[in-house]
Structure 1
Amino acid sequence: MSYEFNPENPVFEFPNPYKVENVFRIGAGALMVLASCIVMLDVRARLAQGLGGKELVVAAIAVGLLVFGIVQLAQAFTQLRFFFGRDRPQDLALRVAPDSDGNSRKADELKELLRQNAMSFEEPKGPLNGLLYSMLPHLIFAPIVLQHTAQAQFYRFLSLAVTLASLLACWFFFGQGAASGWIGIGYALFAAPQVLKPLARHNSAAAGPMDTSTAIGLRSLVVLIVLALLGPALLGLGASLLPNLHDFSINGALALGLLCALLGCAAFGIALNNQLEPAPQAIGSARVSETLTINAHPNKLIEEIDRVLMERWYNRIPNRRYTRRSPAVNGEQGQFTADLFEETQPRPQPNRTAEGIAHAMATPQFRWLVLLTGFAALCMVAGAVATLLFSKGLLAGKASTTFAAIALFQMAVGAFCFRAAHVLWGRFDFVSELMWVDLSGSYESARVNVGNQLSGQVQTQKSVINVESMTMRVWVSEIDTVIFGKDARRQLIRMRGMQGVANELAAHLKAFGETRSMVVAPTSAADLERARQVGATGHAVAAGASGAALAMDVAASDLALATEPVAVAEAPARPRFCTGCGVTLVAQMRFCGDCGTAAGV
């Protein structure tokens, strides 16, 4: 996972939460490396006199101490700088790729939390858990990692306490007998899993809760009590059958180691209790339900939801989409469902990280955690000093098994306490928003024709989807989440409804859906200009047709006038006279009325 740097957006510039732990780890590791170097220098000085078995043993011890010290330094150097990319912390559910549909079981669980308006907490089981949760009533509201870790440490505390009590009882009754050496060996074998197995099983807080396989139950508790009460008597009966170990005894070193482990468990319990928060005063989500009718494809609402949620991106970081289901509209009519579920980028909560030893000691949340970490370093330093004394004594021929046992037990207890403290140091708290929009309804298809279909110059057609009384539900909630280690699984621990945001989102979507147009019309400037040109051309064509018709009418009139007979004005008639008698004749007369002579033309 890459680290992204943005000088304008330092939201991912987290303070190093392991700063205090690193100080103690580096100090303990450096002292162990120094002690191992001193031992190896002593071995080198003895090599001039010859190589013997003691030198080989001491050299092996020095190498082991050196490796253990370097491991502590390497752990601290790994945590020296802390980088947090934008893809951290982990998603609450499987993320859906942009512009694609998808869902997951975890997303359905989160949506069900919003729908139920409540959170569920894991119920503790068993009598010992009942005792633990009665002592820490707020533990039920803690993250599940803390609950499992607290259970494991509580079981281990009880087991080590009973083991120490049984050891002290046996040591008191048989500490001076031949079985004295076997007492420490037996109890050391019994107590070793309680301390060593968590180190082997729980390598990182990101791996989950600490291992509970070593936690005692009723059966183990009965065995420990029986061993504490009857163990001395059984050892007394079998002492004669066991080999005599003479002066070999690790009882004191084992008792000291068990006592230190108990102190570490107690310090962890107090540090855990200081990090517990009281029961939340409000849990829930804000919900708004609306009914709307639209004359458009339902996917238009999904597209608008996507645009609106984009405006709520935190520092321009895209939301984490966990669900997208587009509406399936097939056929003339039917039903559809659709939803969109997103989370904003989780942002860190302020004042949740220790800035140094002084700040941590002044903060109740971290004070006992600092003491636990310092105690772990002190145990490792004590182990290193005991190793140094044992090595020098072995080279001098005066080996002390007590120093060897102290070195072994204190190293184990120190690593055990460091591991327990590391879980609490790696806590990160975040806040974000969950937004879920759910759509469901039925649809019918229709075709709309707009414009004068007989004589209009502009006509449009559109196939529309009519959605009547669609149900729209909106959930919005602000959530608190926590991780233990930057690559660990994130857990939801608080949920608060944001009614104002839900109302605003629902009102915007309803207004958007009800104002969708079902008519196709030009909207851009280019479309309007082309429509104007088409209209002008239409007018010109219409005007040209009217002019041609008028010209044809004029021509026809002229032709009709040209073909009609035109009345010509007659010349004045000349007087006619009879050629026989000279009497004036009338124009229509053919014969003269006086003499009967035929009239001429």
Structure 2
Amino acid sequence: MSYEFNPESKLFEFPNPYKIENMAWLAAGGLLTLGGIGTLVAVRERIALGADLAALKVIGIAVLLMGLGFWFLARAFVQLRYFFGRNRPASLAPVVAADVDGDSNGAKHYKETLRQNAISYPEPKGALNGLLYSMMPALIFAPRVIRQAAQSQFYNFLALAATLASFLVCWLAFGQSGAAGWIGLVYGLFAFVQIMQPMAGSRGVNGDEQVGKGSLIVLVLLAVLGPVLLGMVAGHLPPLGQLSINGVVFVGLVCALLSCAVFGMALKNQLRAAPAAVGSARVMETVTMNAHPNKLIEELDRILMTRWYSNIPNRRYTRRSPQVDGRQGQFAAEMFEETQPRPQADRVAEGLGHAVSSPRFFWLTCLTALGLACVVAGTIAAMLVSQHILQAEPVAGTMAFAVSQFAVGVFCLRAAHVLWGRFDFVSELIWVDINGSYESAQMHIGNQVTSQVQSSKNVINIESMTMRVWVSEIDTVIFGKDEYRQLVGMRGVPALANELAQMLKGFGETRASIVAPSSQQDLERAHNMALIGKVVAGQAAVDAVELLGGHRPAPVVMPVLPMCRQCGAGMESDARFCTDCGTAA
């Protein structure tokens, strides 16, 4: 468990989703502990007079009550604080370290989800699931844990209903016979096994083949043939005298069915309608650039860093750097990241008043209260059992009632715990995929004969590279802070996708392909070198003489001679005729 403290940020001070449940656990644990202590106080005088078997039985009941009470209290103490560090909730896929290329099957699954622009849901199979999903159509869009709990609970409800029907037939048919006591024992044991089954166990989401076809067949056989078989063997069973727990079994089965119904209502309020907007925003651009394609990945890394939620690094699931080898070829690059998940508002019960007034938590609160009521009834019955033992009175019925109420109470609390631990998050998935081909060339800048400053560079030329950008806002859910996180909704964010695509395209198309000095010191040195170059080339001889401390030489004026208009021959300045052709000057 990690805990992060930052006095300037309350980001990780998440509301505790187990507030209401903790109240029930604390109340039940405290009552059980007090009941155990009260039972010990009641038996002290009996022990002072001399310990006997009855006193030892009462001490055993007291130990059981205190042990169960301490277990309830321990469960509540563990959940009193809800620490939630930045490493929670769990990532959707294995995280790739910074500046390291990597991928995973989980990342490929979510990239394919973005590519397909849809969320896939497993198809329910089997007769029981067909009946369940016809009654609750929105269940198909529920998280996996909710679907498993619904299917398991639906099966438990059918099993308990069939058990109750079979029990009533046997009770009415043989309730007055000598086998009446055995009816309650057999059906009570069978019902206890059904009640104590886990709410969301290892049963699969698909198909009711894993949800107990064999058990249903046994239930049908028991319901139809149970009374007949009991009538056949009734005469051979040993008599139980006045021992009969048929009424207790009936009450226990009714309480169990009631808890199933309340759980069904609580689960129904956890469902959400079919997503109104499902998909991701995809933008495709073509980019032409004269630079290594890895420059785009570096720029994308910088852009995404500026968008970190509360300065928490994104969870990188895929990074693939472009490989450019040889003078020409193809390359591919991609980056797939998720922003830090943040909790959705008003998805956790902040107190008892909020839970009772909210339709999302009302029936869940009722289920928790029902579990607490059953535990209270079981505790009172257990204390009565201890008194009956000390007074040498029959205790079978009261003890059976205590056991059945404890079983139903734990059943309700365990079922509610699955739904209380729900936490909803929202985040963004960002996927950039780049594909293209390249050609390398040598570029020279400057006159290769007369220029004093030249530049050359090996250039990677990329024409019409394809760049795709997917951005989607996703809804995820967990049931327990360290449990599996599931995608339950996604919406495209076209504005962010367009912005990323345009920023990357603009960055790529404005990359310089000429190498030149850029610092101020480089420019000053280049200016001084240009002056020296002029001296060497003879283009600044006068400045060079002055630089060396000499004097400026006087200019030499050369005479301009006239030329003949006819033949173009040179003439003396005072000649009147051309000496070559005789033409007058």
Normalized against structure 1, the TM-score is what? 0.87
In structure 2, relative to structure 1, the CA distance for the partners of 1:68 and 1:171 (3 Å cut) is same
SS at match of 1:93: coil
Q: Deviations over 1:422-476 (max 9, x none)?
A: 1111111111111100001111111111123233222222111111221111111
SS at match of 2:424: strand
Q: Aligned partner of 1:495: which letter? A: M
Q: Deviations over 1:244-297 (max 9, x none)?
A: 111222222222111111111110100111121111111111111111111110
Paired position in structure 2 for 1:130: 130
Matches within 5 A, 1:148-159: 148-159=148-159
SS at match of 1:11: coil
Paired position in structure 2 for 1:554: none
Provide the rounded CA distance (Å) in 1 between the counterparts of 2:479 and 2:323: 42
Q: Deviations over 1:112-133 (max 9, x none)?
A: 0110111101111111111111
Whether the 8 Å contact between 2:284 and 2:467 is mirrored in structure 1 is yes
1:298 maps to 2:296:
no
CA-based RMSD of the aligned residues comes to: 2.3
Matches within 5 A, 1:570-585: none
Matches within 5 A, 1:112-261: 112-198=112-198, 217-261=212-256
Whether the 8 Å contact between 2:457 and 2:515 is mirrored in structure 1 is yes
Paired position in structure 2 for 1:2: 2
Paired position in structure 1 for 2:39: 39
Paired position in structure 1 for 2:500: 505
Give the superposition deviation at 1:525. 2.6
Paired position in structure 2 for 1:390: 385
Matches within 5 A, 1:405-484: 405-484=400-479
> Greater shift after overlay, 462-471 or 525-534?
525-534
Q: Aligned partner of 2:482: which letter? A: D
Provide the rounded CA distance (Å) in 2 between the counterparts of 1:377 and 1:450: 85
In structure 2, relative to structure 1, the CA distance for the partners of 1:525 and 1:395 (3 Å cut) is farther
Q: Aligned partner of 1:160: which letter? A: L
> Greater shift after overlay, 424-433 or 533-542?
533-542
Whether the 8 Å contact between 1:478 and 1:498 is mirrored in structure 2 is yes
Q: Deviations over 1:47-75 (max 9, x none)?
A: 11212222222212211111111111111
SS at match of 2:198: helix
Whether the 8 Å contact between 1:208 and 1:488 is mirrored in structure 2 is no
262, 279, 283: which one pairs with 2:278? 283
Whether the 8 Å contact between 1:391 and 1:399 is mirrored in structure 2 is no
Answer with 1 or 2: which has the greater Rg: 1
Q: Aligned partner of 1:196: which letter? A: M
1:515 maps to 2:510:
yes
In structure 2, relative to structure 1, the CA distance for the partners of 1:303 and 1:208 (3 Å cut) is farther
Provide the rounded CA distance (Å) in 1 between the counterparts of 2:527 and 2:340: 50
Whether the 8 Å contact between 2:263 and 2:415 is mirrored in structure 1 is yes
SS at match of 1:197: coil
Whether the 8 Å contact between 2:349 and 2:355 is mirrored in structure 1 is yes
1:20 maps to 2:15:
no
Provide the rounded CA distance (Å) in 1 between the counterparts of 2:13 and 2:357: 23
Provide the rounded CA distance (Å) in 2 between the counterparts of 1:407 and 1:430: 41
Provide the rounded CA distance (Å) in 2 between the counterparts of 1:487 and 1:291: 42
SS at match of 1:10: coil
SS at match of 2:55: helix
Whether the 8 Å contact between 1:197 and 1:214 is mirrored in structure 2 is no
SS at match of 1:479: strand
Provide the rounded CA distance (Å) in 2 between the counterparts of 1:514 and 1:57: 87
Paired position in structure 2 for 1:563: none
Paired position in structure 1 for 2:87: 87
Q: Deviations over 1:499-549 (max 9, x none)?
A: 111111111111111111111112223333333343344445556995799
Whether the 8 Å contact between 1:170 and 1:183 is mirrored in structure 2 is yes
Provide the rounded CA distance (Å) in 1 between the counterparts of 2:463 and 2:535: 45
SS at match of 1:482: strand
316, 320, 337: which one pairs with 1:321? 316
Paired position in structure 1 for 2:550: none
Structure 1 unaligned blocks of 5 or more: 552-601
Normalized against structure 2, the TM-score is what? 0.89
- Residue identity over aligned pairs, in percent, reads 58
Paired position in structure 1 for 2:262: 267
Q: Aligned partner of 1:178: which letter? A: G
Give the superposition deviation at 1:42. 2.1
1:71 maps to 2:64:
no
> Greater shift after overlay, 220-229 or 27-36?
220-229
